[in-house]
Structure formats: structure tokens, C-alpha cells
Amino acid sequence: AQKVTQAQTEISVVEKEDVTLDCVYETRDTTYYLFWYKQPPSGELVFLIRRNSFDEQNEISGRYSWNFQKSTSSFNFTITASQVVDSAVYFCALSGSYNQGGKLIFGQGTELSVKP
């Protein structure tokens, strides 16, 4: 069975602090994809990143960075110098082989609150 665990339900930081959102996954697939989505108060899920299981390179995009470690089945997300606009619920998700296309297994989400 596939499962995604985001142990942190809520995180509160002060602007300019760095914050890391944890994600641990379980799957028996050898090929899989990992995602992060952001859900602002408007409700629409916004895609942030996709990683496939063969690509363990870390990625940095502006203030966002992702650390993928197969050895620990983790795909953590770090926001550097957080801003109030980063306040949202963040979801980590897992997908199996490509023919599962639209079927993502989501974690429970981490609500990030960035205070000025």
C-alpha cells in the first residue's frame, strides 16, 4: 500500500525564518513520483515540484528547496527566509507508475503560518 505521512500538522514561524516541512512516504513501486502542492486560502492546489524515483538530486528554486532521500523515504521541503505570502497548507503527494496518472496519494498536509 502507498502512504504519505506529514507529521507536522501546523507550523508557525516569524517572517525571515527558515522552515522545513517533512514528508515521509511508503511504496513498493520501484518507479514513482513525488510532489509538493501548496493550497492557499482560496482553495486551489498549486503545483510546486515533481520528482521521480530515479532522480535524487536536490532542487532549489528561489527560496524553495527540496531534499529527496530514498534511503529514508523522505522528500522534505525547505523555505528559506519565509514570507507572509508563504502562509498556506502544503501537501506532499505520491504517485505510482505513469498509468496511475491522475491518482495521487496525499499526506494530511502541513499548515504553515508565517507571521510578520
Partner 1 sequence: KAGVTQTPRYLIKTRGQQVTLSCSPISGHRSVSWYQQTPGQGLQFLFEYFSETQRNKGNFPGRFSGRQFSNSRSEMNVSTLELGDSALYLCASQGGRGANVLTFGAGSRLTVL
* Per-residue CA distances from 62 to 56, 59, 102 (Å): 19, 10, 28
CB of 93 to partner 1, least distance (A): 8
Q: Is the dihedral of CA 93, 6, 76, 62 positive or negative?
A: positive
Binding test (CB under 8 A) with partner 1, winner from 25, 33, 36, 68: 33
How far apart are alpha carbons 10 and 110 in whole angstroms?
5
Name residues contacting partner 1, limited to 86-115 (CB under 8 A): 91, 93, 95, 98-109
Question: E strands of 32-81, at which residues?
Answer: 33-39, 46-52, 59-61, 64-69, 74-79
Our CB check for partner 1 shows the closer of 76 and 107 to be 107
Neighbouring residues of 83: CB distance < 8 A, sequence distance ≥ 6: 15, 63, 114
Q: Which positions from 52 through 91 interact with partner 1, judged by CB under 8 A?
A: 91
Q: Is 44 in the site for partner 1 (CB under 8 A)?
A: yes
> Is residue 46 a contact residue for partner 1 (CB under 8 A)?
yes
CB of 59 to partner 1, least distance (A): 15
Residue numbers at the binding site for partner 1 (CB under 8 A): 33, 35, 37, 42-47, 50, 91, 93, 95, 98-109
